[in-house]
Amino acid sequence: MNELARRIDAALPQTQCQRCSYPDCAAYAQAIAAGEAGINQCPPGGQEGIERLAAITGQPVVPLDTHFGIEGPVTVAVIDEDWCIGCTLCIKACPTDAIVGLNKRMHTVIEPYCTGCELCIPVCPVDCISLDIVSGERTGWQAWSPAQAEMGRSRYEQHKARVAREKTENEERLVVKAEAKLADLAAHSQITDGAVLDQKRAVIEAALARARARRAGST
């Protein structure tokens, strides 16, 4: 990320809501810096956010593009405990790990960590998530503090690190399992045809080679 993109990113509310059409605030900042996105695509930042970005980029102040949403108050997600089925889909969707719970157990939202991104709502199969307004009539940056923005950024970075770590750990478990199976393939398979076993061994070896290459590339 270049210096301009960093300054733009620092001026965004860090809700990680994706309403701007980019996967996160950092990606939107980089798109603005590259001239690929407008400065008026962030509903959580609202009109004041556009003015901040205009001052940084030297672009003229323009109205919020309502194609991406409208400026509104700060909200937090609330899960109806009576309807929650514990599917964990909202947990996976939350960019700040603000939702906790176990599979097939009721989930709950840790309010201080919720940025009101709304990403949990469309994935809920039983429609048990709603939004509560917590900023009264205040909207945009009048309702969202720099401390909350920094919290959103920090929680999102932690979320990405956790997801990456869990992915690596899962791949390592699969590699160990595949290596154990490959060491004595005949004992781990009901196939008795030698030629077919050789084909299966080749498939497993190729998969292991790809997994090792991915691990080497991430170090």
Distance set, CA 209 to CA 36, 183, 199, 200, 216 (Å): 38, 15, 15, 14, 10
Residue 159 lies in a domain: no
Number of domains composing the chain: 3
pLDDT single digits (tens) 115-162: 999 999 999 999 999 999 999 999 999 999 999 999 999 999 999 999
**CATH code of the domain covering residue 7:** 1.10.15.40
Do 80 and 111 lie in one domain? The reply is: yes
DSSP alpha helix (H) spans, the chain: 3-10, 25-33, 46-57, 89-93, 146-183, 194-217
Residue 157 lies in a domain: no
Name the token pair of 215: 């691990």
Task: Please state whether beta strands 129-133 and 99-100 pair in parallel, antiparallel, or not at all (unpaired).
Answer: unpaired
Which residue, of 68, 100, 120, is where some domain finishes?
A: 68
pTM for the predicted model, two decimal places: 0.81
Do 13 and 61 lie in one domain? The reply is: yes
Residue 158 lies in a domain: no
Residue 107 lies in a domain: yes
**CATH code of the domain covering residue 136:** 3.30.70.20
Do 23 and 58 lie in one domain? The reply is: yes
Q: Which residue type is seen at 156?
A: Y
Do 22 and 60 lie in one domain? The reply is: yes
Distance set, CA 87 to CA 69, 120, 121 (Å): 28, 12, 13
Q: Which domain holds residue 53?
A: 3-68
Which residue, of 111, 142, 173, is where some domain finishes?
A: 142
pLDDT single digits (tens) 56-103: 999 999 999 999 999 999 999 999 989 999 999 999 999 999 999 999
Do 138 and 183 lie in one domain? The reply is: no
Do 138 and 79 lie in one domain? The reply is: yes
Please indicate whether residue 207 or residue 114 has the higher confidence score (pLDDT): 114
Which residue, of 12, 42, 68, is where some domain finishes?
A: 68
Task: Give the CA angle between residues 6, 168, 102 to the nearest 5°.
Answer: 95
